[in-house]
A and B are shown apart, each in its own frame.
Chain A
């Protein structure tokens, strides 16, 4: 069949190419409206000073917002916290998710579906609802965590789990880990189930069983899946907002501030929209770099 047709004004277009363009148009329209245009205005806005209540009064400030960010201790705290969350999430979510997936794949014979469902369940609950549940668990006066610790004679933090600047970020990590580990487990489990049984049989003949087989056979075989899981976790950790906002609102005294909550604080509480735009651009650049890595890893996987 001839795939090339000539239209009435003389252009020659492949019918496949026409279909591709037509099919892409809706996605392009939505991306333009909801991603490209806002991103463009965020970049433009980052060179201006204006507030939520003075949207028509933009003042050109050049790179001042970026210079301000480089000198803002809370921006660096937020960025540092994002990196802490990245590394802790990789350990908690991908690490524990991998171990759980391995146990479910080869470690237990019965009840795999039940365990898989139970571990995955927190993933389908809203992050805000999960945060509120943990807010009650962590409460220093009526929370079950303190009650259990006191009942077995262990000390509790005097400033509270979420009130102590030294531990509050880790308490948030536990909540995020509790919710997201199940998803990582399912992702990695899908990879594990793609590993041929013959490989394990051959390894067994060579004396590699249990942890040894997991380390030398399983992990290299699912390397690309793990890379994708790490990248998904990393991007999620940079986008984190709701856990921090509900649990601590970035406090105590900015100790748990992350880029998402700090941008929100600057934009909507302190009314520095231009500065918030500059911080968003920084976050956008980080997300683009990570997204590029994710795309590359996904293709390899």
Chain B
């Protein structure tokens, strides 16, 4: 120990010990900083929960990402559907949100991009492992806002009528190709046994009927006529004034009278899936995620058909329901390149094949689809049918401005309950649309 001529022995001793303590603290801090800067990069990924095969899918993703960068750890958190819609918005505004997160592509993803909460992924398309080499330009555009890519679409969901062919054969029912035939089929089923619900409708969460009115607007009003209204770009005196919108709601009233169960607004959508899977009801309109659910509940001998065309409607029945989904990257991520890599690897050839095989997804990258083993019959049907459609329509609760979307959801409940007529429903939607447009 050195001594100083200006300090006494005790002071020198104290100074010596303090210098040792400070040195120890510095070494510890330095070692921590080296540890954190040189090694692990944690990428938090949020997705919806309860998908079949999801655990295996994400285990594979973690391994695939490590092939490109062994320092990246992907930490997956799963959320319930309704909770996620709120939680993701809160988290993205905070400092501890996810780096990579699931979203529905449409207004939901575009809003985050416009608010600066989603990262522009355009520069990462062509990096090593970048999404540009995995998915087509068309699929890339599904996540585009103003020409920039803010999300990487890994799959899409569509909707079909599922029916029980054994029941149809037994009672000589044929697959309806028009809306009129669909109503007749419902009537025939009720004539066979009035206790059978031809098409169970569970609208307690409001979105179920929203998917039906999405297709009815498409079939009756048509894509060309709805475009300006949906985008709120139509002149004020024309916004949502097309009488065909009312006609679409009138079709809902017809369905409610002839096809649906009692109290659809108090019925849970999951229960209606079980009613079909248990063959209590012979038909239902459900998403492409439903095939696997029916199979997991023990019913695999079902078949599908498209939402029928409406006689005299603007659409010939070849346009289908399709919502692209995928991953976005938070603009606040501390590791933008690593996060973009994770979102990109999610659509690599290997991961896309695994997505189709494990989660039954309608994948955006079909390079290895021929290698898919034992594809269930419903999966093959979806893939072929989507390829065969002339166009696609996004669902209203994703596509429309939030207030107008909420008005459509509310009016679905009102029309089903009979508390508002189709005309009153459209008057209300128009009023909300005008207010929303004025606030833009």
**A143 nearest CB neighbor, chain B only:** B266
Contact B419 A165 (CB under 8 A): yes
Contact A163 B263 (CB under 8 A): yes
Q: Determine if A113 is an interface residue (Cβ-Cβ < 8 Å).
A: no
Contact A251 B265 (CB under 8 A): yes
Chain B contact-residue range equals 35 or more
Q: Determine if B122 is an interface residue (Cβ-Cβ < 8 Å).
A: no
B215 to chain A, nearest CB (A): 22
Q: How far is B419's CA from A164's CA once the two chains are assembled, in angstroms?
A: 10
Contact B266 A54 (CB under 8 A): no
Known contacts being A160-B263, A160-B267, A163-B266, is A270 close to B406, with CB within 8 Å? yes
Number of contacts between A and B (CB, 8 Å)?
Answer: 98
Task: Scan B400-424; emit 1 where CB is below 8 A from any A CB, else 0.
Answer: 0011001000110110010110000
Q: Determine if A117 is an interface residue (Cβ-Cβ < 8 Å).
A: no
Q: How far is B92's CA from A55's CA once the two chains are assembled, in angstroms?
A: 11
B104 to chain A, nearest CB (A): 14
Q: Determine if A97 is an interface residue (Cβ-Cβ < 8 Å).
A: no
Interface residues of A in 27-70 (CB under 8 A from B): 51-57
Most buried by B among A160, A251, A253, A265: A253
Residue of B205, B271, B410, B414 near A141 (CB, 8 A) is B271
Q: Determine if A157 is an interface residue (Cβ-Cβ < 8 Å).
A: yes
B279 to chain A, nearest CB (A): 15
Q: Determine if A142 is an interface residue (Cβ-Cβ < 8 Å).
A: yes
Residue of A57, A141, A254 near B267 (CB, 8 A) is A141
State the majority secondary structure of interface residues on B: helix
State the majority secondary structure of interface residues on A: loop
Contact B115 A53 (CB under 8 A): yes
Contact A253 B271 (CB under 8 A): no
Contact B406 A140 (CB under 8 A): no
Interface residues of B in 248-276 (CB under 8 A from A): 261-268, 271, 275
Contact A160 B93 (CB under 8 A): no
What residues on B are CB-neighbors of A161 within 8 Å? 266
Known contacts being A269-B406, A271-B402, is A159 close to B86, with CB within 8 Å? no
| Count of chain A residues with a beta carbon within 8 Å of a chain B beta carbon | 32
Contact A159 B406 (CB under 8 A): no
Q: How far is B190's CA from A257's CA once the two chains are assembled, in angstroms?
A: 36
Contact B265 A52 (CB under 8 A): no
Q: How far is B275's CA from A253's CA once the two chains are assembled, in angstroms?
A: 26
Known contacts being A52-B90, A254-B410, A268-B89, is A160 close to B265, with CB within 8 Å? yes
Known contacts being A252-B417, A253-B417, is A159 close to B263, with CB within 8 Å? yes
Q: How far is B414's CA from A252's CA once the two chains are assembled, in angstroms?
A: 7
Q: Determine if B206 is an interface residue (Cβ-Cβ < 8 Å).
A: yes
Known contacts being A53-B115, A53-B117, is A140 close to B413, with CB within 8 Å? no
Known contacts being A55-B93, A139-B271, A270-B403, is A162 close to B417, with CB within 8 Å? no
Chain A residues in the interface with B (C-beta under 8 A): 51-57, 135, 138-142, 157-165, 249, 251-254, 265, 268-271
Q: Which 8 A-B pairs have the closest CB atoms?
A: A160-B266, A160-B263, A163-B266, A163-B265, A53-B115, A140-B263, A268-B86, A52-B89
Other A-B contacts than A54-B115, A157-B263, A163-B267, 10 sampled, CB-CB below 8 A, are A53-B114, A140-B267, A159-B262, A161-B266, A252-B419, A253-B411, A254-B410, A268-B89, A269-B86, A270-B403
